Homo-oligomer: A and B are copies of this chain.
Amino acid sequence: MTATENGPPDVDEPWPGLPPLVDQHCHGLLREVPTEVGPFARWLSESDAPPAPGTSYFDSALGLAVRRWCPPALGLPAYAPPERYLDARRALGAGEADRLLLRAAGIGALLVDDGPLPGAQRTGAALADAFAAPAFRVARLEPLAEAAADAAGRGTDAFLAGLAERIAGAAAGSLAFKSVAAYRHGLHLEPAAPSRAELWTAAERWLRTRPPGGRVADPVLLRHLLWSAVETGLPLQLHTGFGDTDLRLHRADPALLTDFVRAVAPTGCPLVLLHCYPFHRQAAHLAAVHPHVYADLGLTLSHVGGRAPAVLAETLELAPFGKLLFSTDAYGLPELYLVGARQFRWALTEALRGPGWPREDTDRAAALLAGGNARRLYGLPEQR
């Protein structure tokens, strides 16, 4: 692990016994990372829009976190300016730069959302190879419905049968399902599974009115996807909290899922609330009182930069140590995996050691949060 000169300490060393991280939710890696400042910086925002005139996506807490953690992995001082960093990246060559960044992240296993990303991406074996770590599939639900609709045309029965087949197939090859219902409609969904008649009517209407490639946003169909996933018994990851311009933030409050959480309880199917910010205290409450609810902070700890310890501490106000998971929610840039991992380790040190708790308790809690909880939840083997 690389040494750094200033700012938050390099926490890979201070917590030597911490097992390798399990990144329980991330995405694919770009095949070719841009090395010009503008195109590179576009990956530093959840926005699909260019930055406002006179501003740069580097001028943010996330931009400074990238400058804090990534240059040292390439042999530069922390906070090297973006131009100098990207020059060094180009000089090393993409393969070597990516390798240095990803190995520095210290991620021992990955669960990868198979949903689509812009640009040519590395997934599956190519991703595992890049990390030198096992990569497991998380099956995104909505594209399964869209692929089934593409295949079925206007045939409602064919669509529903095809969807059921795709979900069964995905369950066989995945460790978890993932829903982006928060984006497509919002989390204020009716809690129960739709009736067969309700489902058929919604499917028929969608197929009839769907433009080619159209996304599924009907709340009845989204509920059917959620319940189809619940029936497999695999953990179900749900996007909650902040995201891109598509999102109505107040509709992504995980507390809106409470009735769904209760309806799922008898099945025992684990629900994993992703990201959650700025509703991470609400998510922590759900994780505290419902045995089958888990949560992570995902990209939050990267985006909030120097405030990562505070946001993690806010989450641990109510979240039991056995119910919070680590993830980077990184996508595209190797830098985002490294930043996610370092921000988490740094935040963990600050948040767990701040209150003066005994070292053996914080060591045990840290091991759970870093990977133990994910290994238990997803049935992964112990590592090292």
Contact = CB atoms under 8 A, between A and B. Distances in A.
B49 A291 contact: yes
Interface in A242-270: 242, 244-245, 247-250, 253, 255-256, 258-259, 262, 265
Contacts of A310: 313-314
Given A278-B282, A354-B306, A357-B79, A55 B320 contact: yes
A19 interface: no
Contacts of A57: 320
Given A250-B256, A317-B311, A285 B242 contact: yes
Given A55-B320, A305-B317, A357-B64, A290 B258 contact: no
A282 to B, nearest CB: 6
A193 B366 CA distance: 52
Contacts of A318: 60-61, 242, 303-304
B250 A282 contact: yes
B64 A355 contact: yes
A202 to B, nearest CB: 23
Given A45-B288, A46-B289, A7 B305 contact: no
A183 B68 CA distance: 43
A365 interface: yes
A118 interface: no
A307 interface: yes
A290 B358 CA distance: 43
A59 B56 CA distance: 42
A284 to B, nearest CB: 9
Interface string A223-238: 0000000000000000
A242 to B, nearest CB: 5
B281 A277 contact: yes
10 contacts: A7-B355, A8-B355, A45-B289, A59-B320, A60-B288, A64-B357, A242-B318, A303-B317, A307-B314, A307-B317
Given A8-B356, A55-B320, A249-B258, 11 more contacts: A8-B355, A49-B291, A52-B292, A55-B323, A59-B322, A60-B288, A64-B355, A245-B262, A249-B255, A307-B317, A310-B314
Interface of A: 6-8, 45-47, 49-57, 59-61, 64, 79, 242, 244-245, 247-250, 253, 255-256, 258-259, 262, 265, 277-278, 281-282, 285-286, 288-292, 303-307, 310-311, 313-314, 316-323, 354-358, 361, 365, 368, 376
